[in-house]
Amino acid sequence: MKKKIFVTREVFGEVLDFLAPHFEVADNQADRVLTPEELTQVLADKEGALTTLTERIDENLLSRCPQLRAVCNIAVGYNNIDLTACNKHGVMATNTPGVLDDTTADFAWALILATARRLNEAEAYIREGRWDKWKLKQFLGLDVHHATLGIVGLGRIGQVVARRATGFEMEVLYHDVQRAAPEIESACRAKYVTKDELFSRADIVTVHIPYSPQTHHAVGAAEIALMKPSAILIHAARGGVVDDAALVEALRKGTLAGAGLDVFEGEPALHPGFLEMKNVVLSPHIASSSERTRFKMAMMAAENCVAALTAGNPPNLLNPKGK
């Protein structure tokens, strides 16, 4: 008898076809976000699940789903999964690292350029029929070339962002909890500095660290206050890393020129202050959303699930103690 699994959100048909020979697959191709209670009920008799960031896997759910053995996240982040609870209940948790680095870095650059050059304001100006003449001082923005780029977190995605900066002939500064190896610094042409120096010197700050209790509001009022009034903040990591209320306050006061944001605290809800401001570029957590990359993410999660429930050794295991 095949093991039962559940795919919690809509995925590509090819992914379901890949899973079908291995499991009895139930899916949610209608793509409705399930409540915690609905998710618990549907996983009660399942041994595996392909999950996304919209599903919380915690002690309450796992204690009521005794057959569950593998939770395979379609994301590189996994702050929706309580690994301690997974270890307790013998549940393997996996993620999808590597496949989205370039795509996410590309999108961070899209936010950098759109925010620096005030692209959303300019487009709205045309769409609203307000463009009646050329002006010398119209939509004056920030030059990206030869600017100083500050990267918070020189992990896989941060490194790709840094390498892209070479084409703009930028000075690249970075800060992380641990200094990168010399060969990485050299490849990225990045200089390690203190957190305070990064925020005070950078013209553009881009955030690329995962969310955890330790990184909650790692970019808060104190860090934002160090930034130049002409600087911009880019955030395409995880909601909660940046203190959104503090960012809104700085933008309102004019102590920061602008922000480009793909993630938010409590998303899909977001601080209403962002919607009031023209100098903020907003996108709905789509940094990895190219067709090829999202397909790779979903297929990697499926491969993790097959490996977990057959061999017990998925390639992207987050918690060896959960085996």
Query: What is the set of active-site residues?
Result: 238, 267, 285
The position carrying tokens 């390690």 is 192
Q: Distances in Å between the alpha carbon of 223 and those of 43, 151, 226, 236, 246?
A: 42, 13, 5, 17, 10
Apex 223 CA angle, 275 and 119, nearest 5: 35
How far apart, in whole angstroms, are the C-alpha atoms of residue 94 and residue 76? 9
Residue/partner pairs of 53-56 with CB below 8 Å, 24 or more apart? 53/77, 53/79, 53/80, 53/285, 54/8, 54/9, 54/80, 55/8, 55/9, 55/80, 56/80
| Structural contact between residues 64 and 44, judged by C-beta atoms closer than 8 angstroms | yes
Q: Where are the alpha helices (DSSP H) in 34-82?
A: 36-43, 59-62
Q: In 3D, which of 288, 294, 286 has the Cα closest to residue 15? A: 294
| Structural contact between residues 163 and 139, judged by C-beta atoms closer than 8 angstroms | no
C-beta atoms surrounding 151 within 10 Å: 29
How far apart, in whole angstroms, are the C-alpha atoms of residue 309 and residue 40? 20
Neighbouring C-alpha atoms within 13 Å toward the C-beta of 30: 4
